[in-house]
Amino acid sequence: MSPRLVSVSVLAAGLLLLVVLAPAVPLVVFAGILLAVFLRGGGDAIARATGLPGGWGMAVFITGVVAAMAAAAALAAPTVADQFDELWRQIPETTGEFERRLREYAWGELLVERLQQPPALGPEQGRAAAVAFASVFSAIGSIVVIAFIGLYVAAAPETYEAGLRLLLAPSLRPRAAAALNEAGRVLKWWLAGQLLSMLIVGVLTGLGLWLVGAPLALVLGLIAGLLSFIPYLGPVLAAVPGLLVALPEGLTMVGWVAAVYVVVQVLESYLVTPLIQLEQVRLPPALTLAAQILFGIWFGLLGLLLATPFAAVAMTLARRLYVEDYLEGEAGAAGGDRRAAAE
């Protein structure tokens, strides 16, 4: 067996074993790499603009991000917190109102009965509380690990890239390095475009809801901006609290709120995204949705969040290392054989 095949087989088997034994670990590592791409990209941009070394550029970028977040929290935190409290209070009330209206119809009564779950009793409540408690600590631990991975990889990406190349046969290393560099470029442009898209969606949604007189426009715009990180599914999830909050205001307000979400989504899908993400891999919508559903089922919320960038990187690597090197190489070899036979 050739060294090339052995190295690829060992690497693939190790990754598969890790996914089977500890499925959350690859996603946490990938989230850390995504954070590293964000930090390194911002630091490199500052370094190019100011002439500072890359490390100092990244330090300035991190300081700027932390300062901007602190300033935003100081200026907007009281209003956002009040609106979140109001949203938290209103959602159960409007959900009950929505359920009451559904029960006015026979099909709605049947739907509500099907969706309702029996309450947990006795020991089940204790187990549910324990699971929720463990989930919170697990999420906090994952965030800390992601932050450290992001900082370490951003500080010295070449170290980890060189270590990964060492796991491959020498003949594969140049092509693997080129593929990894392209995957990093794709991830950088995807992330930059997605962050800008999130900002635009959040501002447009909040402004639109404020113009039509919808309640809690600021916090609903914030939710819309954050959830737009998840393509296709995120805007649908973001519209749910907006429609529920508008329900007590009447069907006219519900219509206006729905129109705001639809208009913003159309602008984002057909104008904003095509303009700001020209450099990224264009994922077919069906492939993106399939990846989101699959990762959401397998890995939960973190999988749903990371499905799209993971699919973009996987598509880039598959195109470079499988389609171009293997399939098209085989086609070229077959064409050469046919020409030799004809001569």
Whether residue 336 is predicted with pLDDT greater than 60 in this model: the reply is no
| Residues 33 and 159 occupy one common structural domain | yes
Q: Which of 4-8, 56-60, 123-127, 200-204 bottoms out in mean pLDDT, i.e. has the lowest? A: 123-127
Whether residue 140 is predicted with pLDDT greater than 60 in this model: the reply is yes
| Residues 231 and 317 occupy one common structural domain | yes
Confidence of residue 192 (pLDDT cuts 50, 70, 90): confident
Question: Max alpha carbon distance in the chain (Å)?
Answer: 84
Confidence of residue 331 (pLDDT cuts 50, 70, 90): low
CA nearest to 268, candidates 194, 216, 208:
194
Residue with tokens 């190790």: 14
DSSP string spanning 209-276? HHHTT-TTHHHHHHHHHHHTTSTTHHHHHHHHHHHHHHGGG-HHHHHHHHHHHHHHHHHIIIIIHHHH
- Whether residue 86 is contained in a domain is answered as no
| Residues 158 and 199 occupy one common structural domain | no
Please, which residues have CB within 8 angstroms of residue 283's CB and are 6 or more apart in sequence? 308, 311, 312, 315
Whether residue 220 is predicted with pLDDT greater than 60 in this model: the reply is yes
Whether residue 208 is predicted with pLDDT greater than 50 in this model: the reply is yes
> What was the pLDDT predicted at 330?
59
| Residues 159 and 187 occupy one common structural domain | no
- Whether residue 264 is contained in a domain is answered as yes
| Residues 267 and 191 occupy one common structural domain | yes
Q: Which pLDDT tens digit goes with each residue over 75-115?
A: 777 777 777 777 777 777 677 666 676 666 666 666 666 66
Whether residue 207 is predicted with pLDDT greater than 50 in this model: the reply is yes
Q: Name the more confident of 27 and 342.
A: 27
CA nearest to 149, candidates 300, 27, 312:
27
| Residues 155 and 225 occupy one common structural domain | no
| Residues 26 and 148 occupy one common structural domain | yes
Domain count, the chain: 2
| Residues 252 and 148 occupy one common structural domain | no
> What was the pLDDT predicted at 36?
93
Q: Which of 112-126, 143-157, 195-209 bottoms out in mean pLDDT, i.e. has the lowest? A: 112-126
Q: What is the rounded end-to-end Cα distance, in angstroms, of the chain?
A: 33
Q: Which pLDDT tens digit goes with each residue over 246-278?
A: 888 888 998 999 999 999 988 887 777 766 655
- Whether residue 60 is contained in a domain is answered as yes
DSSP string spanning 19-67? HHH-THHHHHHHHHHHHHHHHHHHHHHHHHHH---HHHHHHHHHHHHHH
User: Both tokens of residue 91?
Assistant: 């959602």
CA nearest to 179, candidates 327, 38, 318, 14:
318
Percentage of the chain exceeding pLDDT 90 = 17
Whether residue 121 is predicted with pLDDT greater than 50 in this model: the reply is no
| Residues 160 and 252 occupy one common structural domain | no
| Residues 152 and 258 occupy one common structural domain | no
- Whether residue 224 is contained in a domain is answered as yes
- Whether residue 320 is contained in a domain is answered as yes
| pTM of the shown model | 0.78
> What was the pLDDT predicted at 332?
54
- Whether residue 171 is contained in a domain is answered as no
Host domain of residue 42: 1-75+138-166
Mean pLDDT in residue range 217-245 = 88
| Residues 150 and 226 occupy one common structural domain | no
- Whether residue 119 is contained in a domain is answered as no
Q: Are 289 and 234 in contact (CB under 8 A)?
A: no
Read off the amino acid at residue 199: L
| Residues 217 and 146 occupy one common structural domain | no
**Spatial distance between the Cα atoms of 254 and 315, rounded to a whole number of angstroms:** 40
- Whether residue 81 is contained in a domain is answered as no
